Structure 1
Amino acid sequence: MRSFLARLATVPAALAALVAAPGVATAAPSRVADDWNPPANLVQPLGEVWNHVESTYPDLYGFRNYGWDQVMANRGSVNYCVRWESDAPVSAALRDQIHAALKKQFAKWMAAMVENGKGHNAWPYTSVPVNIVGWAVKNRSTLQWTDNSVDIYAGNLDSGGAPQCSPGCGRFFHQDGNYARCL
């Protein structure tokens, strides 16, 4: 559980690093470089995240599924489908804690994007609602709730064996915005 939450916490850090990184196409590199001034204790970890991103994604600037791409495509909101890669059971209370943590971390990112009530570097949103729309698991029995608060995707595994949400509904698979196969 702790490693899962730690990975969730890295997402806003990675997104913040991407937003602040020199060379982002949405801002002049010199301006972004001038504005990038994280607290000293975050310089090294943010640099490590950025180096990992650069070495992992071959089409770094052509890929259109980053957090800000999702927010822009959704016109100011974001949808999450939690991919639970553990066999550890998830109670309704734990599910709700994870949902709250996702919303809290995303709110922190949005707060960092706002200066004096306006979006930093032409960011158009001062707040972004987070909708948790589903959970993906290997086995449905892992989820210990029976309500229908979110969609559940059980047994749908990616090539690495990790549970995934419906490909028909995922922006990763449909960066063109065509969700005709989303059920």
Structure 2
Amino acid sequence: TKWNPPSSMTTGLDQVWARTLQENPNWSDDKNWLLDQLMVNNGSINYCVRWNTAAHKSTASDRKKIEAGLQRNLKKWFDTLVGFEGFPLTKLAVKVVGYATKDKSLIQGDTSAINIYTTVDGDGVPECDPRCYRATHLDGNLSDCPHGAAGRYDISLWLDESLEGQNAGYGYNWGEELAPDYLLNNLDIDNIHILQHEMGHGFGLLDFYDWVPQGQTSFIMMAGSAMEVTEFDAWMLRDWWRKLK
């Protein structure tokens, strides 16, 4: 696939990139976008889950569904790049390698395949071991990680009780923050649309709360206007790849 977006999208895409440079002029200095992570890891992304809720327990069944949901929804973005202008990857592998919690008893069932962390950050939120976080070791040296290279996590899924009951979230290249009840209630849905939206921010894509690109009315990065990654979203991400590669 070459850079050949529909004519109805070209002006809007130009506007998006101009706005990107305005809002994030130093975008190219950041070497931890999801595209960077995918390239360095040859198509693999490791997650650590920050379980900051006492209202829900993490069951083995739900953990499998969470990992599958992360794979399924990130693949919606990934597939838009396969075969496009030198993008070399064809397979995506998402794995959850750890959970962070204040109360270990909330992580139920067999936990032999994951690392459990019970430390908290400066705000009292459960955090995965920073020594295993890729963003703090861009040189690839994970010798300080107690679990070695296998314990590496690239991004976090943060399920926070402060968002309980809200169809809202946050995202950047550190990962996604969602309402625990929203994610757990939607694990069997093909397109978990708020998750897809926040994943888009991990690639560097903007929010569109106060403006709309010319000719566009519905796409996942314009919150509330679409329920899945659309063609316009795909061309925005392809534009990032063109600039980043």
Q: How does 1:1-183 map to 2 (within 5 A)?
A: 35=5, 59-87=26-54, 88-114=56-82, 118=83, 120-154=84-118, 156-183=119-146
Runs of 4+ in 1 over 2 A off after TM superposition: 34-39, 57-61, 158-162
Percent identity between matched residues is 33
Q: Alignment length, in residue pairs? A: 137
The whole-number CA distance in structure 1 between the counterparts of 2:135 and 2:72 is: 23
The whole-number CA distance in structure 2 between the counterparts of 1:70 and 1:177 is: 11
The whole-number CA distance in structure 2 between the counterparts of 1:72 and 1:38 is: 31
What runs of 5+ residues in structure 1 fail to find an aligned partner?
A: 1-30
The whole-number CA distance in structure 2 between the counterparts of 1:182 and 1:59 is: 30
What runs of 5+ residues in structure 2 fail to find an aligned partner?
A: 147-245
Flag the structure with more relative contact order, 1 or 2, with Cα contacts below 8 A and sequence separation at least 6. Answer: 2
Higher share of residues assigned helix: 1
| Superposition TM-score, scaled by structure 2 size | 0.48
- Kindly state the Cα deviation for residue 86 of structure 1 after the two structures are TM-superposed: 1.7
The 1:168/1:59 distance shift into structure 2, 3 A limit, reads farther
The whole-number CA distance in structure 2 between the counterparts of 1:70 and 1:178 is: 15
State the Cα RMSD in Å.
Answer: 3.0
8 A contact 2:42–2:89 mirrored in 1: no
- Kindly state the Cα deviation for residue 37 of structure 1 after the two structures are TM-superposed: 8.4
